């Protein structure tokens, strides 16, 4: 609507102060640049208030049930373990009759930590674990790189075989390898004899020397069982390396080793850290393979931390002493986990 004063048309204003009019109000010879528009106010949605504002705490709420279940499952066993480590329950009668047990404070820790055999077992476990982690990671990477160079059908065949190997229980694997390395009728001794060995090679005892039996035979068995996970996982990680980066490195004149070191390793570093930490945790407390290789009676030279726990807690019924050993084992695992978490935080900060 227009309001006239002295026969002169005046455009009415909207509530926002913007003049409005129609084409009829304008002079006939005036050009029309654009159709008239009316301002429309768009209402903003109200801001969400409360605990879930912005979605900041939703991830924590989603993970809360899993945390509660994990704490519920582990809280009481861990409490019982620590409580038992401060008692003198070193006989079965004391275990089934708690009234016979007495609290002895830190005497149990002093006894275990002052035992030379305990430290020998810890050092043996550390050396053995370091060997297993290094060899399994190196071999796993080599096989994963080879899988990237074979045909598709060969790759599928190898992965299928690895899955079958992975599915075999560790105790079964140890039993089979005990037959393979047996001093009477063992396959390894017979093959060595066929390739020019003397008659005595046919009855060579691989387990007579604990150094050979642990660091050679046992290592072969454990690495055999660890390779499927490492090969399949590393092969999947290698597929995440952008081909453009590989091609650019080759064009810049980088060798194969330089490309692997400066291009491939940085890309797959998060997975390498994860697998190395998991391999350390698994290998440090390995039990079933050594237990099966020595026919359920490992000699002291074969004792790692897992076998030592079994000997103290089950065979000798020293429950409090084995609890102290378990606590020490948990602290070592926590140290590895702290290192792992720090590495993951650094990698996340770099990304």
Report yes or no: 112 and 118 within 8 Å, Cβ to Cβ: yes
How confident is the model at residue 17, as a pLDDT?
46
Instruction: Report the candidate in 298, 320, 291 with the shortest Cα–Cα distance to residue 98.
Output: 320
Is there a domain that residue 137 lies in?
A: yes
Round to whole Å and give the CA distance between 157 and 163.
Answer: 10
How confident is the model at residue 34, as a pLDDT?
47
Is there a domain that residue 294 lies in?
A: yes
Q: How many domains does the chain have?
A: 1
Q: What tokens does 5 get?
A: 């004063």
Is there a domain that residue 126 lies in?
A: yes
Is there a domain that residue 179 lies in?
A: yes
User: In the predicted model, is pLDDT for residue 10 greater than 70?
Assistant: no
Reported as a pLDDT band with limits 50, 70 and 90, residue 12 is very low
Round to whole Å and give the CA distance between 128 and 220.
Answer: 12
Distances from the Cα of 152 to the Cαs of 119, 143, 164, 224, 236, in angstroms? 49, 15, 19, 24, 14
Q: Which domain holds residue 339?
A: 108-350
Is there a domain that residue 305 lies in?
A: yes
pLDDT in tens, 220-270: 999 999 999 999 999 999 988 998 988 898 888 888 889 999 999 989 988
User: In the predicted model, is pLDDT for residue 348 greater than 80?
Assistant: no
Reported as a pLDDT band with limits 50, 70 and 90, residue 351 is low
The rounded radius of gyration (Å) of the Cα atoms in the chain is: 35
Other residues' Cβ atoms within 10 Å of the Cβ of residue 307: 22
Is there a domain that residue 285 lies in?
A: yes
Report yes or no: 174 and 289 within 8 Å, Cβ to Cβ: yes
pLDDT in tens, 73-131: 999 999 999 999 999 888 877 777 777 888 888 999 999 999 999 999 999 999 999 99
Instruction: Report the candidate in 116, 86, 75, 71 with the shortest Cα–Cα distance to residue 327.
Output: 86
User: In the predicted model, is pLDDT for residue 162 greater than 50?
Assistant: yes
User: In the predicted model, is pLDDT for residue 70 greater than 50?
Assistant: yes
Is there a domain that residue 313 lies in?
A: yes
Is there a domain that residue 223 lies in?
A: yes
Q: How far does CA 56 lie from the centroid of its chain?
A: 27
How confident is the model at residue 126, as a pLDDT?
93
How confident is the model at residue 2, as a pLDDT?
44
pTM given for the model: 0.78
Q: What tokens does 243 get?
A: 């081909």
CATH code at 160?
1.10.3720.10
């Amino acid at each position: 609507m227009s309001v006239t004063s002295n026969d002169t048309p005046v455009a009415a204003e909207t509530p926002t102060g913007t003049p409005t009019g129609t084409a009829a109000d304008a002079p006939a010879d005036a050009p029309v640049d654009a159709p008239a528009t009316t301002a429309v106010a768009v209402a903003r949605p109200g801001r969400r208030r409360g605990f879930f504002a912005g979605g900041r705490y939703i991830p924590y709420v989603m993970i809360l049930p899993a945390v509660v279940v994990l704490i519920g499952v582990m809280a009481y066993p861990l409490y019982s373990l620590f409580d038992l480590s401060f008692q003198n329950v070193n006989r079965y009668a004391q275990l089934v009759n708690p009234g016979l047990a007495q609290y002895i404070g830190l005497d149990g820790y002093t006894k275990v930590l002052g035992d030379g055999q305990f430290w020998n077992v810890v050092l043996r476990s550390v050396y053995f674990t370091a060997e297993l982690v290094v060899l399994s990671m190196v071999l796993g990477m080599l096989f994963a790189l080879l899988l990237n160079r074979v045909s598709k059908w060969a790759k599928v065949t190898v992965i299928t075989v690895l899955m079958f190997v992975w599915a075999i229980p560790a105790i079964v694997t140890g039993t089979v390898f005990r037959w393979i390395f047996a001093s009477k009728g063992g396959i390894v001794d017979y093959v060595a004899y066929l390739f020019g060995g003397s008659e005595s090679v046919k009855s060579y005892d691989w387990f007579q020397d604990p150094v050979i039996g642990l660091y050679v035979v046992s290592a072969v068995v454990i690495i055999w069982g660890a390779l499927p996970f490492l090969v399949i996982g590393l092969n999947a990680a290698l597929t995440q390396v952008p081909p453009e980066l590989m091609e650019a490195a080759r064009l810049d004149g980088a060798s194969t080793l330089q490309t692997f070191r400066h291009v491939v390793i940085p890309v797959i570093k998060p997975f390498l850290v994860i697998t190395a930490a998991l391999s350390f945790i698994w290998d440090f407390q390995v039990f079933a393979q050594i237990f099966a290789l020595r026919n359920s009676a490992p000699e002291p030279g074969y004792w790692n931390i897992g076998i030592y726990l079994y000997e103290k807690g089950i065979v000798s019924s020293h429950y409090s002493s084995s609890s102290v050993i378990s606590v020490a084992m948990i602290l070592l695992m926590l140290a590895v986990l702290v290192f792992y978490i720090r590495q993951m935080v650094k990698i996340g900060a770099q990304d």
